[in-house]
Amino acid sequence: MVFGILKKLFGGEADQSTSSAASAKDSPAERKAGAQSADLAGFVDYVVRCLVNEPDAVQVTSTGSGNSCSLQISCQKGDVAKIIGKNGRTISAIRLLVNGAANRDGQQVKVDVLD
């Protein structure tokens, strides 16, 4: 899943296995947007779990539909500083990667860290 996001971000084709799980009722554009937001949520989840001391307490929730989506990261209070980083550099880097991958498909994704 992470490699699929990175391939899309840097110009390769992503693995289509995640889009096959989408409902047959959805249009191809809706399936692609749903699979894209699920891939991005999985990517953010993976990166954040690698950064924190308590990876089991991390939750990434995705809300929104259409071309805009919001990813909300919740974790323990002691780990929030690790996600944000010094002067916000870590969360800025995560947002940059997520927005780069989302913009390729014409989507807008907002990444927030909840207290």
Q: State residue 9's pLDDT score.
A: 64
In single-letter form, the type of residue at position 38 comes to A
Low-confidence ranges of the chain (pLDDT < 50): 14-25, 31
Are the C-beta atoms of 108 and 67 separated by less than 8 Å? yes
Q: What's the pTM?
A: 0.71
At the topology level of CATH, where does 2-114 sit? GMP Synthetase; Chain A, domain 3 (3.30.300)
Look up residue 49 and give its two tokens: 């779990």
Q: For the chain, how long is the longest CA-to-CA vector?
A: 45
Q: State residue 38's pLDDT score.
A: 80
pLDDT per position as a tens digit, 58-80: 999 999 877 899 999 999 999 99
pLDDT per position as a tens digit, 36-46: 778 899 999 99
Burial class (CB in 10 A: 0-12, 13-18, 19+), 115: exposed
